[in-house]
Structure 1
Amino acid sequence: MRLTIPVIKVLSALLAEPDAPRYGLDLMRLTGLPSGTLYPVLHRLQAADWLAADWEAVDPVAAGRPARRYYRLTGEGTRSARLALAEVRALTPAQRPHEGPGPAGAPAW
């Protein structure tokens, strides 16, 4: 699985509550991703067997809305996502407040 920023955002959102089923709009709100970015990521995660998807059993007329497709990490998906995010965190430099001037020529962020 190629870990792009959108993939990392989706995996992080799903891992926040791994047993909770999430639907598209819910994931869009959690990740800040637009639907045109989110749904291809969900499709790739399903193709990799990291994600299971099922339609809810609801009468759209009675519910007053279309049926939702719920996504949930599989057991393998949960394990793989945790490992992948741990690897990403290990590669990301720690973010600390700047403590005084840095080496000559270095930006003081």
Structure 2
Amino acid sequence: MNTELRLTVPVARVLAALVADPAGDHYGMELMQSSGLPSGTLYPILARLTGAGWLDKRWEDIDPSTAGRPARAYYRLTPVALPVARQRLAELHEQTRPGPAHAAGKEATA
């Protein structure tokens, strides 16, 4: 697994959606809704995460003509990636929250 994956805001949104239900199988439309990302942003991220070893991908075993829709690809964080994803998201949260200097500046202008 490549742990040096660049954690952009869209990647963090996808990881946060996956970490929220780590045992669940997630498909594209669900991840688009939970991350707020369009398909043109989501699917390249899913491909990068899968290629880097962060996600397992499996295809739904259905007959599309019987189901009336195409088979879905399901994604799940790998057991190795889950703690790394949680740690990276926690670090990002810590880096982006307002610090004491920001709070002091607010008090000075209030």
TM range (shorter): 0.7 to 0.9
Corresponding pairs, count: 101
For 2:59, give the aligned amino acid.
W
SS in structure 2 opposite 1:18?
Answer: coil
Counting aligned pairs with the same residue, the percent is 51
> 1:50 touches 1:80 (CA, 8 Å); kept in 2?
no
| 1:18 equivalent among 10, 22, 25 | 22
Q: Give the distance between the partners of 1:78 and 1:16, measured in 2 at CA.
A: 11
- Give the C-alpha shift of residue 79 in structure 1: 1.5
Shift of 1:94: 4.3
Aligned Cα root-mean-square deviation (Å): 1.7
| Larger helix percent | 2
Task: Give 1 or 2 for the bigger CA radius of gyration.
Answer: 1
Structure 1: tracts of 5 or more residues without a match: none
Give 2:35's aligned residue. 31
What amino acid is the match of 2:61?
A
Q: Which residue of 1 aligns with 2:46?
A: 42
CA positional deviation for 1:102: 3.0
- Looking at both structures, which has the greater relative contact order when contacts are Cα pairs under 8 Å and sequence separation is at least 6? 2
Normalized against structure 2, the TM-score is what? 0.85
- TM-score, normalization by structure 1: 0.86
| Structure 1 residue corresponding to 2:90, chosen from 71, 86, 95 | 86
